[in-house]
Amino acid sequence: MSIEHAALTLTQTLNNERDTLKVPPGTEIQGVVQYRNTGTAGLREVIVRLNFEGVGLDPQTVKVEGGAFDSQRKQITWSAASSPQLRALRAGDVGDLKYTFRLLTPQNLPFASETDKNFSLITRAIGDSPDLPTPPGAPKQVVTDQFDILLNTVPSIRLDAFTDDGRAGLPTSTGPMPPQVGKETVLTVRARLNNTSNDVIDATHKTVLPEGVRWVGKEYHTIGEVRFNERTRDVVWTVPLLPARAGAALPEPEFAFQVAITPSLNQAGQEVALTRGHTLDGTDAFTTVRVRAEAAAVTTRNVDPKKAEVVR
């Protein structure tokens, strides 16, 4: 004669991943809690709760199928009242409980001090039924499943260009403003790096100088190393560590370099590109994910003061 036993398992998937998800702030999450009666006995009046723990949940965006969300407790509850299939689960029965939410955007993350970083959100599923066993002298058994969401950092690049007056420790700009056909004008291009919630290690900022733009050889940087490849015209700035909150609670790493242009007749009346597009690549030290930032090309239309929009 076999003895029946009651058993319940819960399995979470978020955005089709299991156990851990690494995504940027602001990402929409599609969540599923799969329940299964893995025992040989039926289960009555099953209740499944999902608790949100940690940082990153935007409670206003939570949507639940067949359940209810308590924003004060940060908890979703599914029961027979809203999901009738939970009233009685026979051996082998399986089903899905679905919900969606969106993570907080970088601007809405709760930074309380300049040391706040490495945010994560945990979803913890808990299942209960009066038919689950209670060992003698021990609390009643409940079923749990944990899922970790790690928030990637979001770096960014701020670019500008200007006629240098010595503010970046570089020689004063020379040449006509606005630029003139056949005459050389020296301008300074500057890149500043911002970052949100996690350190970025081994970061590389890269751009390319178009043909017709001369690398003057004068540059200034607050961290890392700079190199220019004359053959490929790559301008590469390596930054060993871009700290979390750079540009907000901490200073932003900065790199400025001078270029010279001598406009041709066919460029009269046009803006001139000083660089191609800019990229920043590195590794998120918390999530180990590769992160990237991009910024558009810098042209004479970006120069401050606004005297270099076109060449004459």
Domain-wise residue ranges, the chain: 8-151, 156-304
What are the tens digits of pLDDT across the range 139-185? 666 889 999 999 999 999 999 999 987 776 788 889 998 899 999 99
For the full predicted model, state whether its pTM sits above 0.85: yes
Q: Which residue has the higher pLDDT, 78 or 169?
A: 78
What are the tens digits of pLDDT across the range 40-77? 999 999 999 999 999 999 999 999 999 999 999 999 99
pLDDT, residue 137, reads 66
10 Å Cβ neighbour count for 149? 25
Report the CATH fold assignment for 8-151.
Immunoglobulin-like (2.60.40)
Q: Which residue has the higher pLDDT, 127 or 112?
A: 127
pLDDT, residue 37, reads 96
Query: Does pLDDT of 263 surpass 50?
Result: yes
User: What are the beta bridge partners of residue 101?
Assistant: 29
Name the band, by pLDDT with cuts 50, 70 and 90, for residue 311. Answer: low
Burial class (CB in 10 A: 0-12, 13-18, 19+), 86: buried
Query: Does pLDDT of 291 surpass 80?
Result: yes
Name the band, by pLDDT with cuts 50, 70 and 90, for residue 135. Answer: confident
pLDDT, residue 276, reads 98
The percentage of residues in the chain with a pLDDT greater than 70, rounded to a whole number, is 94
Least confident of 2-6, 88-92, 167-171: 2-6
CA distances to 20, 30, 159, 180, 218 from 15, in Å: 10, 5, 35, 55, 48
The percentage of residues in the chain with a pLDDT greater than 90, rounded to a whole number, is 81
pLDDT, residue 134, reads 76
Tokens read off for 303: 């120069």
Query: Does pLDDT of 35 surpass 90?
Result: yes
pLDDT, residue 133, reads 82
CATH topology match: 8-151 vs 156-304? yes
pLDDT, residue 136, reads 72
Query: Does pLDDT of 1 surpass 50?
Result: no
SS (H, E, C) the chain: CCCCCCCEEEEEEECCECCEEEECCCCEEEEEEEEEECCCCCEECCEEEEEEEECCEEEEEEEECCCEEECCCCEEEECCCCCHHHHEECCCCEEEEEEEEEECCHHHCCCCCCCCCCCEEEEEEEEECCCCCCCCCCCCCCEEEEEEEEECCCCEEEEEEECCCCCCCCCCCCCCCCCCCCCCEEEEEEEEEECCCCCEEEEEEEEECCCCEEEEEEEEECCCEEEECCCCCEEEEEEEEECCCECCCECCCEEEEEEEECCCHHHECCCCECCCCEEEEEEECCCCCEEEEEECCCEHHHEECCCCCCEC
pLDDT, residue 257, reads 97
Name the band, by pLDDT with cuts 50, 70 and 90, for residue 2. Answer: very low
Query: Does pLDDT of 112 surpass 90?
Result: no
Contact predicate 4/39, CB 8 Å? yes
Mean of the per-residue pLDDT values for the chain? 93
Class of domain 156-304: mainly beta
N residues, the chain: 312
Query: Does pLDDT of 88 surpass 50?
Result: yes
Query: Does pLDDT of 246 surpass 70?
Result: yes
